[in-house]
Structure 1
Amino acid sequence: MAYWLFKTEPDEFSIDDLQALGETPEPWDGIRNYQARNLLRDAVAEGDEVFIYHSSCKHIGVAGTATVVRAAYPDPDQFNPDHKYFDAKAAPDNVRWYRVDVVFQRKFQRLVTLADIKVMPGLENMMLLKQGRLSIQPVTPPEWATIITTSETDV
């Protein structure tokens, strides 16, 4: 099992939206960055744990967790000319973009903010702080444990 951080803009899809689905798998789609795509396609696996990270919003940070329930498969939106994620260069025999399915695990008692993460011992090398714009990022087991512990403490 591996650990990941998946970024989302909460006005499009939030931890609350994922929670509302209960045990229904949700496709994690719209990945259109090659480095993120490669991680999603080649490394993210069924059973992996995921931080859901709210970005591009007023309160930025890790909001909760999910579990990958289906490994990478072709994102069908790339083939649909009416969809915002259409890619004219993609074809069923030339898949360019992938998605995984996730299910909700839990919403944190409190958001673990980017500001929190920046000052936490042991997180100084976290990819989030080194390559912040990447929408799919690996998280080490010690980083995972630190953020989980922080999420359970009062502010």
Structure 2
Amino acid sequence: MKIKVTDLPVTISINSELALHVIDFTGCVRFSEIEALGRAHADNLSWAGADTFHIVAEDADLAELTEARLDAVRAHYRKVHESIEFFILRRSGWVCRSADGCRVVEYWLRERHSRDGQGTEVYLAATLDDLGELFSQDEIEAARTRAGFFEQLRIDHKAGR
């Protein structure tokens, strides 16, 4: 089943009942949008500490996210995550189908693991169903259908939208 994502900018949707977030990356993802996402997480530590599905649309263009730029954002997120007192591990599932997108996400997740000081278990998969190692089937189905999720933030730095 194909994940339903409309061509929107970077968005955060939250399901308060399940305490889950979905972050969608669609279209041409600008580095400035990733920086704005990092600032939003720093300003809302409960968001930064939430279990999250990150869904990179199959046609997402991540070309602006060079390794040097990602390194700067990784340093920012390390500080944010280290400032949070995690009592249990945060779950961070990434769904990415395109080879180009996966290369960027793999670099982003490089050397990330549950004992790296950031309190997060990460998993990269081709489909939501493949995230069964981290999330329950009910959580996966909610993320797929967006049942109970409400958009909380839209980051759009693209001209003409």
Q: TM-score, normalised by structure 1?
A: 0.30
Higher strand share: 1
Higher helix share: 2
Question: Which has the larger Rg?
Answer: 1
